[in-house]
Structure 1
Amino acid sequence: MNGQTNLILRAATSGDVSDITKLVTEAFAQYTPLIGKPPAPALYDYAEIVARGRVTLALAGQAMLGVIYIYPEEEGAMMLDVLAVSEAARGRGIATGLIRAAEDQARAEGARLMRVYTNVAMTGPQALYPKLGYRETHRGESDGYSRIHYEKAL
């Protein structure tokens, strides 16, 4: 992760819920004016999601720099549902490192495909996912959001 030797990835616990909620809310806040409402991940119940045991954190000391949440889907696929990096930590390779760790986890669990979608207003992810080998599969409306869907064979 770009020389982040002191960066550790670990599973989230119930004690992390408040910090996860804050990080995700702040990371996605810039998109609310563009979308006209908060992005879906800013509205999630992170206590429930963390309880599922599928959230990974990127930490430097006690500072939470990033979070990723994946879950299995049908047909041997894994969905990357939430990826957020704190504003102060952007540009340091943390998102890429979290995605690669999630892909490794998915492979270890037998997934053959990783799926992800992003809002059409979010240009950062639209640049990142193709760089990491994701291909756009389709665009469409779901849950009141205009989304771009991607997938990558694992």
Structure 2
Amino acid sequence: MLGSFRWLSLFITLFLAFSAVANSAPSANGLVEGERQEVAGYLARIEKNNPEEVAEVLQRAEQFYLNEGMRQDFSPVVFVLHGPEVSIFFRENYLRYRSIVDLAAKLSALKVVDIKVCETQSHGLGLDLKTLLPFVGTVPVGPVEESHLIEVEKYIYF
């Protein structure tokens, strides 16, 4: 009898502990349920590292701006590109990626997005940073910058 009481007690303790963790876990938007907090900023989530994905996230940022952003003050969505997609934003590739570059330039001018490319990846692809389009910034190492924004600056993924 005493053994089954211990198991029941252990089960209840574990259940309550897991319930507490689940109830305080961040939701999909990075906020704890029922909690309102200021967001330090948004970081574009780029996982496939291809031009189509960059275009898709730029279009989502534009929709956000058209639906919400014009009515409120917000920080630009930061894009830290560190895969082969960095090549989109170099002059020699403008004709190939014109629609993406034009949308990015417009959103950058409106301060909806802030685009940065990884210097290390750019050099690795043989791209000269002197030919980087003027509205695009650089970071030395893209993954390090992403980690810094998420872990230190407390940005959340867009």
Give yes or no for TM over 0.5: no
Higher relative contact order at CA 8 Å, sep ≥6: structure 1 or structure 2?
Answer: 2
Instruction: Tell me the TM-score normalized by structure 2.
Output: 0.30
Q: Which has the higher helix share?
A: 2
Instruction: Tell me the TM-score normalized by structure 1.
Output: 0.30
Q: Which has the higher strand share?
A: 1
